[in-house]
Every structure is written in C-alpha cells, then in structure tokens.
Structure 1
C-alpha cells in the first residue's frame, strides 16, 4: 500500500469546481477516481480559456487536444471515462460501476439524480456499502434548494462578502474560489468519516453538503450578532475587530502584516519600535484598551514605518519575536522559496503533450509514511474506457464498439 486511500474506488459525476475539488483531494490520497463525462461534450470546464495543448498555451483553442488549464488542474490523478447517463444502457453500466465502487460524488442540481433513477435509496439497494456525497448550492432541502449557485452567489448568500472589504466600501468577494473549495473540503471530511465508520458498521452513508452552510460556518467564529448589537462594523478591512495592532501596513517598498494578540506581544512591539514610553499608557494596557483606542494604535504603527523598508521593518520586529510577515504580490508568491521547498509548485501536465511550462499547486498534506500527490495528468474524454469497461466491468471489445456506435460511450 503506497497511499492511504488505495483500494477505494470513487465514481465521480461532478463538473466545474466544487465536486472535482473533492475527488482531486481523494485522488491525491490514493483513491481510484473514475471521472464520468458526457461522450464528446465532457465536463463544461474543459472549454473555459485559457487552454494548453501541443502548440502551447493560448486563450483560443488551436487543436482538438487543447484543454482548459482549469480542467487540467482540477482533475489530476483521475481516470476518465465517457458515459451517456440519459440512455438505458448507460444507466445499466453506471449501476455496474456502483456495485464495484465505494463512493459516488455528484454536484448536479437537486433532484437530477432522482430523475435519473440514481437517488441514494436505489444506489444503496445496489451496494449497501456505497457512500453517496452530494454538493449543491443550498443542499438537498430548504426554501433555496432549487436555486442555481456559483462561487460568487454563495460568497454573497453565506455572509462571506458581508464581512469582507472595508467599512466604507461594498461587500467584497474573497479572491480565492472559497465558495466552491470550502464546501469541497467539507465533502472530503464527510467522505473520510463515512469510510472510517463503514469499517465498523459495514454500512454506507448519505452526505449532503450545502455550499451556503459550509461558507456560513466560516464567518461565525466571530460573535457577529454581538458585534451588530455593539455597532461594530461587519467589514473591517484587514483589521481585527478585537485586537490592535492587527493590520496590513505600507512600508516604503511594500506591505507587511503585523499581528499583536497578547499583552506580552504588545510590550515586545513597543520595545522593537522604540516606544517604551507607551508601556504604562493606560489606553493600551490590555487588549480591550487597545481595541477601544485602535485608531491611536494605528497612528503609532504608521509613524514608526515612515521611511522604513519592508525588510528593515520585518527584521526589527522579528528580533523581538513580534508576529509579522511580508505581504507579497503574486509574482513574488510564485517564486517563494518556502513553497518551492515543500513541493508546492509542480509543473502542470497535459495528457497528450506533457509539460505546459505553467505551475500548479501541489498536494498540501504531507504524510510521513504514505505520501500523497497526483500520479497522472487530468484525463482526456474517455481515455480510460478500455481499462474501466474492459478491465473492471469485463465488457468485451465488440460490446464497447457497439456502445460507442450507439452513443453510450
């Protein structure tokens, strides 16, 4: 056994980002992920620019092999098959896969799997050990169940945008696609828990992930209802509604983050910047005082930073162990030696043409005994039909040829 989830077979019906990000992480931990796509059409994400292919990277497709960079990133380590789930023959093939599978993941609109005849009770009747995970914008029940959803709408409806931005500015989207990716990570947690439970009970599980639920869970670490009653702004920019100094500050040549979370760190900060005279200032004696007088604290920090370089300021603060770091722009992040040392910037590969010359993200969970990671590029449509249909289901070449002729695969 080389990876933790070896021997676990995942039947992946997902498209776009939330669902594929679930199976991407499972594949990195060794699961055999079989991605099902519509014959010829494939995952809609395939057709989103920019593209990579035999003639390089561009914003327009140059060859039939050209594939979206998004698709190539989100589907590494998976096997790809084509299957028409609208046809009766295709549905029967899917049932055969479920018999031999451990996990089914889908992110169709609620009700779609029921109409196809693949709701949990019917799949459970085929395989009582099956773990069935659904991800939808608002879950499988509730008044918003049938609403379409994307990252932006979910960041809005979950409250993420309500707490992101500056006090005098509009609600703002978080730059990363967390409206999709956070629910996906909850989906991974649910699947891993269900797999562990199945070892004891022998029974599968139904997992219902709401993208709104998942993102709402992130904002409630803060006591937002209390903040409302106290008149504290919901959006505070980079500042912390409880602590000061806690912000991103401009130096002469860049930005740095300073985070002072305790009285001891405040004393260290004052010593670092040469303002020991403020140690006994009653306004700043504790966290409550520094929060109440946070505007005055901001003035102290900004006055100290005048004329200082980013590196000079960081060196001074680190000498006193004040929590701080640079806030680099993306070109600097892409050259970060720490990320490179931990293998977080592998080259993105295309299934036919190989190296693209572009970076992607490595798997961020580092195991000591059974390392994770992506074993292969994202598949082309139907790339593993022979391996899956012939090798796993025992379908003959002649039957597969007939299936292809009838548009089943």
Structure 2
C-alpha cells in the first residue's frame, strides 16, 4: 500500500511546477488524471530535445499519471469536468489568475460540487497584488526574486541557475500544501484553496541572503562559488578538474590543514576561527589554491573524505549517473513506454521502509486514458464517440 492510495487528483496544470508537484502525489500513490486540451496545448510536450516524437522535458514530470482530453471551453466539456470534480479530492491548476473563474470552476463553484474539495492554484505572482495578472516563468522569477543577483562570479553578470529551480521548489510546496490540506480535511471536513506564487517561493528561498538583509541590512553580492559567511567553502582547481570543499566549522579546518600537509595553518592566528578566516579570506585561498593544484580531484576527494571533510568533484550530468553512490542508491529506473519501449527515468528520492515508490505507469500519451476514465464514470461508448466527433475530447 502507498501513502496516498485512494486519493484522486485532477491536474489541470501545465509546463513544470504544477506537473512536478502532481507527480510527487502520483508517486505517493494518488490517482492523478491530467486534464489536457484535445489539441495538446501544454508547451512542455513540444520542448526540445525529443526521443522519437516525445519531449524529454515532458517525460521527466508526468510518470504515474493518466491523460484525459477535455475542451473546458465547451458546454459538454464543462459538464464532463464537473462530473470528474465531484469525485476528486484535489484539483491542481496553474492558469493565469482569474482564468479558472472565467471557465466557471472557481473555488466557490467547486465547493458547491464537493464541499471538501482542495484546490491548489499556482501562478507566477499569486492571486492578489498588482502583478497578479502577469505571467511568471522560472527565469523571470529568478531575476525578480533576487536569485540571479547573488549567483555568478563577483566580476561577472547576474546568472540564472542552470535548472528551473523555482519551478522545482514550487513543486515541493505543491505537494507539502496539498498533504497538509488533506490532513486538515480529514480532521475538520473542510476543503481549502491554496494560493502558491512562484515569486513567494523564491523570496522564501533566499535563506541566509534574506536573513542577512532583514536583520542586518546587508545586501549580498555575488561571491561565485564561495560562501558569504563561511570559508573555505568553495571550489578549487585540482591537477585535472575542480573540487568543491565545504569546511563548515573550526574543527574541520584543523582536519583540512592536517590532510593537506600544512599543520602549521592550525596555529596561524589568521585561520584559527571562521571569523578570522573570513577576515583573511584572500590569503587563505592563495594557500589552498597552491596545494590543491598538486593532486588530482579524485585523490583529494579520497583524502578529504577519509577525514570526514565534505567535498565532491564537480561532475557533469554523465559523471553524475556514473557516481558510485548514485548507482548504489539506484537513482535510475526503467519504465516501458508504448511508443518508445523501455526508457530510463530518475527515481523518486523518497525511501520508505514499508512502501516502495516506483514508476507504475509511463508518462501518458495525450488523451491516452480518456475513454477508459470516462467509461469508469458511466459515459457510454456511443456518447464518447459523439464527444470525439465534436472535438470535446
């Protein structure tokens, strides 16, 4: 048994933040039904690169789901959706603010269909405020939310994180907020309308950068691969490739000095505490750069790890999947796709002792389960054929 067995989710979301969030719920056992337009207007289905004619971007965010096509702008489509909604626990959507109301499925309307419904609305800027109508894509939010300004080299330009990190973080809040709402519903019988904004998520994720400003008025600047508050906590070029070293406390620095063959650093008044090391960051880095260049990254990783000093070689994506720990944790699994055959996907990282999360279903083709789902709701084959002829499904 999986934790969310018996929970039904209608997923109206597109692109990444919403679909990744609903996939978390699907992995945990919920029945997630993607509601898509018959023409397949989810942009993520059309993003390069492709394997066959399937987008690898789409494949990453939609395992363990069903796909049902419904034209929500048609009267027949609205009636079908209402029928599905009456039986749903959760509805996830990321239309622009107000769109769901205009379609006739705002929270108040949905509550009339099912009193304890949980609606999770994801937008760039939220349901309120002067920016509420604007679209918000991940890189725009990285810029507006301060992430780009603290990412990159000190003498370089503001830099976007190389993955859609705001979408990914928002997807986690989708799962967290839905799970919390399900718990509250079970206790009180009340539904919920969740208002998730990508900008809110990004601001909440500024972490120490936000805290330094709010409590000390400090406006952080780009520090490259170093750290504002801790040193050494950065990358160093070894004889062959870079390594990241994170010396989180004074005891670790004592160990670092010993491993690197310079025990005299332990007694150097410039380096004995983190505060002193911050004050003499440049001199410390010059010492470290010279020594790290003497050996390969693999050799330094072995030596530092043996002393329990956090470190890791800077890997490209191919090297990530060759990493012995990634292999040991079996972070790649296979599933069978009806058009592509056996495909590799990244496994859900949650490990339960009493439940195994896996890819039970491949990412669905557009509308793949439309007929099967509608038949489960009592729609006859003749009615389904008529709806198809009209372009409703």
TM-score normalised to structure 1 length: 0.92
Contact 2:13–2:95 (8 Å) recurs in 1: yes
Distance in 1 between the 2:187 and 2:337 partners?
Answer: 40
2:8 maps to 1:6: no
Shift of 1:167: 1.2
Distance in 2 between the 1:72 and 1:321 partners?
Answer: 38
Distance in 2 between the 1:74 and 1:42 partners?
Answer: 16
Match of 1:395 in 2: 379
Shift of 1:373: 2.2
Match of 1:383 in 2: 368
Select which of 342, 367, 381 maps to 1:355.
Answer: 342
2:310 maps to 1:326: no
Distance in 2 between the 1:49 and 1:89 partners?
Answer: 34
1:71-90 mapped onto 2 (5 Å cutoff): 71-90=58-77
Distance in 2 between the 1:278 and 1:307 partners?
Answer: 18
Structure 1 gap segments, 5+ residues each: 54-65
Which segments of structure 1 move beyond 6 Å, counting only runs of 4 or more? none
1:219-230 mapped onto 2 (5 Å cutoff): 219-222=206-209, 223-225=211-213, 229=217
Shift of 1:233: 4.7
Match of 1:62 in 2: none
Distance in 1 between the 2:115 and 2:214 partners?
Answer: 46
Match of 1:207 in 2: 194
CA shift in 2, pair 1:147/1:258, >3 Å: same
Distance in 1 between the 2:110 and 2:362 partners?
Answer: 30
CA shift in 2, pair 1:306/1:72, >3 Å: closer
Contact 2:335–2:361 (8 Å) recurs in 1: no
Match of 2:113 in 1: 126
2:229 maps to 1:242: yes
Distance in 2 between the 1:336 and 1:322 partners?
Answer: 18
Match of 2:164 in 1: 177
Contact 1:224–1:234 (8 Å) recurs in 2: no
Distance in 2 between the 1:16 and 1:323 partners?
Answer: 35
Match of 1:407 in 2: 391
Shift of 1:281: 1.9
Stretch moving more, 336-345 or 139-148: 336-345
Shift of 1:33: 0.4
CA shift in 2, pair 1:226/1:396, >3 Å: closer
Show CA shifts across 1:112-148 (max 9, x none).
Answer: 0010011101101110111100110001111111111
Match of 1:56 in 2: none
Shift of 1:226: 6.6
Contact 1:13–1:104 (8 Å) recurs in 2: yes
Distance in 1 between the 2:76 and 2:24 partners?
Answer: 31
TM-score normalised to structure 2 length: 0.96
Shift of 1:278: 2.3
